[in-house]
Structure formats: structure tokens, C-alpha cells
């Protein structure tokens, strides 16, 4: 399946998107990337997801990431703003109604925020390595990432995706979450507003989060949320355990109302 890459204007800035199939026709997946991600960091996963579920897929880049105009806002402020304006405007511009959301890391947090805020706007949510509060492990992982970035290795890897904006992207992510407001942020009080099915995929070797994130969601959404803990898996289940994530997505897609 050959994807189509295009741009739209949201809040007077160009956003880069990529579609596998036509997401305006029937149920579709919308992919929300992580705090250092872009369209290209999804690799082959969107095409595999479209084949596995039978639904078209739309992915886009938030402001300042990849080919989208910026600059990026610090997290978690950026996720709150995207929930309120950016994501709804993107879906409206693309003619996408009631999609399934699939978010990785910060994108997973965005998916949960959106499902809690816009309770009738989505069919289901699948998140991987999301965080609904900040653990000590999360902060330690961010500090390790800062060291890797300043040493040069992580920066070189990110330049391929973000070019001249790499340092801004990294700073918005790392410095934002390590700020006092970032460290104290949580969305625990909003989880019970989610009314759609949720699947939370978590690796037990994730350097940024633990099973406590999954439990926080499943405990507050009994009967609506399910957790999938993957042994030996790190922070990117869709790359490290793609078959497990695709199977979870396939099962979730079968639950949704196709109308």
C-alpha cells in the first residue's frame, strides 16, 4: 500500500500528514507520535496496521516535528493544547470522523487526553508506553536521554527526522517534562471521563514507565480498559513487538461500530 504525504494548514501553520488509504471513508486509525517522533519514525507500522485491521490509517506531525511548522511547545503544555485545538482541527480538515486513536508514548498520553475531553469523538483508543502521571523512573530516563543527546549520539539520530529543529524538539520534550510543572503533571482525575474501549500496551523493560501506568488506567476504567504487558519489551512496542501490537489493534478494531 503506497501512502500519500500531504500538508494542511492548522492554526496558520503547515502540518505534514501521511495517509494509507482514505481515512475519510468509514472507520480509520489516527496515529499520534511520541515526544521525539515524526512520520518516518513509524516506519512500516502504519501500512501493517492498515492491512491487519482493514481500516485506513492517518498519521501527522505536531508543530515543530519533522516537516510540520513550529516551533514545538514544551510538554505537557503542548499535549493539552493539541487536545483542545490541534487534533480536532486536523481531523476536521481531513474529513475524519470518529476515528480510532493509536498513540505512542506522549502520543498515547495525547490519545487518552483527547478521549477524556471529547467523549463522543472517537471509537476506541490503543496506547503504547503512555504516561498518565510522572514516575521517578520517568524522570531518570529523561536525564539519561539528556546525557545521550549532549554526547551526540541521540542528537545525530534525531537530526534525520527533525533537521535544524532537532534541539528545539528535544528541549520541548526533555526540559518540559523535567520542569516543576512537568514533574507534577497528571491526568488521573480525567481518566474516568473516557467512555470508549481502551487497550494499554506496556513493555516491562521500558526505561520511562512501569506497569503502574497501566494499572492507573485499568483501575479507573473497569470493563472498558485492558492492559497488555509485554515481557522484555522497552519503550516502543510497535517496533519491538509488532505482532503483539497488531493483534491487539486487530481485536480492538473488531469491537468498534462500523457505522
| pLDDT score, position 259 | 65
What span, in angstroms and rounded, lies between the C-alpha atoms of 37 and 68? 12
The predicted pLDDT at position 93 comes to 97
pLDDT of residue 111: 98
What tens digit of pLDDT does each residue of 43-89 get? Answer: 999 999 999 999 999 999 999 999 999 999 999 999 999 999 999 99
Strand partners, 4: 19
State how far the Cα of 37 lies from the Cα of 62, in Å rounded to an integer.
9
Strand 13-20 versus strand 57-60 pairing type = antiparallel
Q: Which residues of the chain have pLDDT under 50?
A: none
Task: Answer yes or no: are the C-beta atoms of 231 and 256 closer than 8 Å.
Answer: no
- Residue 68: phi and psi, rounded to 5, are -90, 140
The predicted structure's pLDDT at residue 1: 72
- Per domain, the residue ranges of the chain are 4-255
Q: Residue 224: which H helix or E strand, with range? A: none
CA distance 117 to 22: 26
What CATH architecture does domain 4-255 belong to?
3-Layer(aba) Sandwich (3.40)
Contact 20, 1 (CB under 8 A): yes
Amino acid at each position: 500500500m503506497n501512502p500519500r504525504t500531504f500538508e494542511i494548514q492548522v492554526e496558520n501553520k503547515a502540518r505534514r500528514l501521511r495517509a494509507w488509504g482514505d481515512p475519510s471513508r468509514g472507520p480509520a486509525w489516527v496515529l499520534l507520535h511520541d515526544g521525539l517522533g515524526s512520520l518516518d519514525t513509524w516506519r512500516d507500522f502504519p501500512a501493517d496496521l492498515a492491512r491487519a485491521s482493514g481500516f485506513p490509517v492517518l498519521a501527522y506531525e505536531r508543530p515543530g516535528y519533522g516537516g510540520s511548522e513550529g516551533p514545538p511547545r514544551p510538554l505537557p503544555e503542548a499535549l493539552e493544547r493539541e487536545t483542545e485545538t490541534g487534533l480536532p482541527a486536523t481531523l476536521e480538515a481531513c474529513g475524519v470522523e470518529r476515528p480510532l486513536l493509536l498513540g505512542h508514548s506522549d502520543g498515547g498520553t495525547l490519545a487518552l487526553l483527547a478521549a477524556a475531553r471529547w467523549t463522543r469523538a472517537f471509537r476506541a483508543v490503543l496506547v503504547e508506553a503512555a504516561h498518565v502521571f510522572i514516575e521517578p523512573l520517568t524522570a531518570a530516563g529523561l536525564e539519561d536521554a539528556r546525557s545521550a543527546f549532549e554526547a551526540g549520539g541521540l542528537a545525530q539520530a534525531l537530526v534525520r527526522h527533525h533537521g535544524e529543529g532537532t534541539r528545539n524538539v528535544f528541549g520541548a520534550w526533555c526540559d518540559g517534562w523535567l520542569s516543576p510543572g512537568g514533574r507534577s503533571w497528571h491526568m488521573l482525575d480525567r481518566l474516568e471521563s473516557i467512555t470508549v474501549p481502551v487497550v494499554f500496551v506496556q513493555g516491562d523493560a521500558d526505561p520511562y514507565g512501569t506497569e503502574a501506568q497501566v494499572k492507573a488506567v485499568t483501575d479507573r476504567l473497569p470493563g472498558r480498559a485492558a492492559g497488555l504487558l509485554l515481557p522484555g519489551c522497552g519503550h516502543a512496542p510497535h517496533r519491538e513487538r509488532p505482532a503483539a501490537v497488531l493483534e491487539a489493534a486487530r481485536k480492538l478494531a473488531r469491537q468498534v461500530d462500523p457505522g
